[in-house]
Chains A and B, each alone.
Chain A
Amino acid sequence: AQSVTQLGSHVSVSEGALVLLRCNYSSSVPPYLFWYVQYPNQGLQLLLKYTTGATLVKGINGFEAEFKKSETSFHLTKPSAHMSDAAEYFCAVKGTSYDKVIFGPGTSLSVIP
Chain B
Amino acid sequence: KAGVTQTPRYLIKTRGQQVTLSCSPISGHRSVSWYQQTPGQGLQFLFEYFSETQRNKGNFPGRFSGRQFSNSRSEMNVSTLELGDSALYLCASSLPQGKAYEQYFGPGTRLTVT
Contacts and interface: CB of A to CB of B under 8 A. Distances in A.
Contacts, number: 55
Contacts of A96: 99
Interface string A27-58: 00000101010000111111001010000000
Q: How large is the interface on A (under 10, 10 to 19, 20 to 34, 35 or more residues)?
A: 20 to 34
A43 B92 CA distance: 9
A84 interface: no
A98 B58 CA distance: 14
B24 to A, nearest CB: 13
A97 B101 CA distance: 7
Nearest to B47: A100
A56 B56 CA distance: 30
**Interface residues of chain A: helix, strand, loop or mixed (majority):** loop
Contacts of B107: 41-43
Contacts of A49: 100, 102
B103 A98 contact: no
Interface in B74-114: 90, 92, 96, 98-108
A11 to B, nearest CB: 16
A96 B90 CA distance: 22
Nearest to A36: B105
Interface of A: 32, 34, 36, 41-46, 49, 51, 90, 94, 96-106
